[in-house]
């Protein structure tokens, strides 16, 4: 069967939610005094948007094949990503067969290695890679998970990330991950408030519900160690992304410091097999959390996941909607998934990349049947109501 070739590549940007889910209107729980590395500056504590967490915006990558099939994907990369796609990466796509995913990935990565390797360049490569998997699966009229070996279980189970784990428990999720609100610069008073919040949520959720803290790179080793030991009393299941992603040495120490039974997790701001090789071989964490829209896409996540499996580490991708669901359902070492509560008050389930995608599946009672992922490709469509902006044209 001769496969179609790639006829066109288009990159668009969108503001307001979507893949850049931090890009929300005011009053959203996800921008309410959450601890970050910028928290050492009081003026940047109340809102992460104040220091620019949402400056990039969403990148939409569309790839059209010679038979008219269009694959697309969305990620966090905005205009920078659109420039890289149109002015650099498109040359590795136009005219290629839709099956040449591995070779295209290799050329995109090594052609940008001199200015990329991580961050927005890898987000952009991930977006192109996800669009290629969407396109190939649509040409083959299969869901992406079928191209990855197929489901290993009948349904996904989710923990929820948001400000109200008590509501997440009522909605059937298996656990609740809280954002940490106070950083070392807020002293003992801040540490006390961090523990008080955990204690309050433990009393509301009871003893059997998973509670985790997401520290979003905001702590130092000593503070993270103290937080872990105080939080142990309230059954904290894991401490997430406590340190800078570059501090592999600190994570290796933290993993030795935390109380027995508490897990150390990280990885959402790490990229490529080489970055995760460092995390795994230096014993930095028990669970790696790559974001498939940021780590290099499905093509790279396959390699990262196999490496983790060889280290007996779990891979629980950072929430990235259908892009992680299609992967997690096919891997034994990915026993559950993350769902980010994107409603401003986390008291109801809405699609994670709302309002950008149509047909985006959501957990029901904290679970999602594999059959909810059976449409061709990643099974989602762009919302025609959302205006796309194309800042650059390739060729």
Give the residues lining the site for ligand L6UHLTYX (CB under 6 A): 30, 34, 161, 179, 214, 216, 268, 318-319, 338, 340
User: By C-beta, is 23 or 338 nearer to ligand L6UHLTYX?
Assistant: 338
214 assigned to a ligand binding site: yes
- Determine the interface stretch with Mg ion among 120-128, 211-219, 278-286, 337-345 (rule: CB under 5 A): 211-219
If the CB atoms of residues 23 and 214 are measured against Mg ion, the closer one turns out to be 214
Is-catalytic flag, 28? no
135 token code pair? 């396109």
100 binding Mg ion? (CB under 5 A): no
CA atoms within 13 A on the CB side of 360: 22
Tell me: is residue 381 an annotated ligand-binding position: no
Among 368, 347, 360, smallest CA distance to 386 is for 360
Q: Which of ligand L6UHLTYX, Mg ion, none binds 86 (CB below 5-8 Å, type-dependent)?
A: none
Is 367 annotated to bind ligand?
no
**Cα(295)–Cα(118) distance, integer angstroms:** 8
214 binds Mg ion (CB under 5 A): yes
Q: Which residues pair with 14 in a beta bridge?
A: 58
Using CA atoms, how far residue 2 sits from 31, 66, 98, 147, 204, in Å, is 49, 11, 10, 18, 59
Residue 84 in contact with residue 122, Cβ under 8 Å?
no
CB nearer Mg ion, residue 214 or residue 360? 214
User: Exactly one of 318, 326, 343, 389 is catalytic; which is it?
Assistant: 318
Count residues binding Mg ion (CB under 5 A). 3
Residue with tokens 């992603």: 245
String of DSSP letters for 103-132? HHHHHHHHHHTTT-SSHHHHHHHHHHHHHH
338 annotated as belonging to a binding site for a ligand: yes
Q: How far is the CB of 53 from ligand L6UHLTYX (least distance, A)?
A: 8
Instruction: List b or e across 147-163, with b for residues whose CB sees 16 or more CB atoms inside 10 angstroms.
Output: bbeebeeebbbbbbbbb
To the question of whether residue 48 is assigned a binding role by annotation, the answer is yes
Contact of residue 351 among Mg ion, ligand L6UHLTYX, none (CB under 5-8 Å per partner type): none
* Catalytic residue IDs: 318
């Amino acid at each position: 069967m001769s496969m179609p070739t790639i006829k066109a590549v288009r990159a668009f940007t969108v503001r307001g939610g979507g893949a850049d889910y931090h890009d929300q209107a005011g009053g959203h729980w996800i921008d309410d005094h959450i601890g970050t590395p910028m928290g050492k500056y009081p003026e940047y504590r109340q809102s992460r948007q104040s220091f620019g967490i949402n400056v990039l915006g969403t990148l939409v990558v569309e790839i059209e094949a010679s038979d008219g099939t269009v694959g697309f994907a969305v990620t966090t990369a905005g205009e920078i990503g659109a420039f890289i796609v149109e002015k650099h990466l498109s040359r590795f796509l136009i005219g290629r067969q839709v099956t040449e995913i591995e070779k295209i990935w290799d050329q995109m990565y090594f052609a940008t290695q001199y200015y990329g390797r991580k961050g927005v360049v890898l987000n952009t490569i991930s977006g192109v890679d996800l669009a290629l998997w969407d396109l190939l699966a649509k040409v083959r009229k299969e869901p992406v998970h079928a191209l990855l070996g197929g489901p290993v279980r009948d349904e996904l189970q989710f923990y929820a990330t948001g400000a109200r784990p008590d509501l997440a428990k009522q909605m059937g999720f298996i656990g609740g991950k809280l954002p940490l609100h106070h950083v070392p610069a807020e002293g003992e008073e801040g540490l006390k408030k961090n523990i008080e919040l955990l204690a309050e949520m433990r009393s509301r959720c009871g003893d059997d519900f998973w509670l985790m803290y997401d520290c979003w790179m905001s702590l130092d080793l000593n503070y993270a160690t103290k937080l872990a030991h105080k939080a142990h009393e309230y059954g904290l299941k894991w401490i997430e992304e406590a340190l800078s992603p570059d501090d592999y040495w600190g994570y290796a120490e933290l993993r030795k410091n935390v109380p027995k039974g508490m897990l150390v997790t990280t990885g959402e701001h790490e990229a490529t097999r080489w970055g995760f090789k460092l995390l795994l071989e230096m014993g930095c964490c028990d669970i790696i959390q790559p974001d498939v829209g940021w780590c290099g896409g499905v093509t790279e996540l396959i390699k990262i996941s196999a490496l983790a499996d060889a280290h007996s580490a779990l891979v629980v991708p950072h929430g990235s909607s259908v892009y992680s669901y299609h992967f997690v359902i096919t891997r034994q070492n990915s026993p559950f998934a993350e769902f980010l509560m994107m409603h401003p008050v986390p008291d109801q389930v809405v699609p994670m990349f709302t309002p950008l995608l149509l047909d985006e599946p959501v957990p029901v009672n904290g679970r999602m049947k594999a059959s909810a992922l059976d449409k061709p490709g990643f099974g989602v469509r762009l919302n025609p109501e959302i205006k796309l902006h194309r800042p650059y044209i390739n060729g």
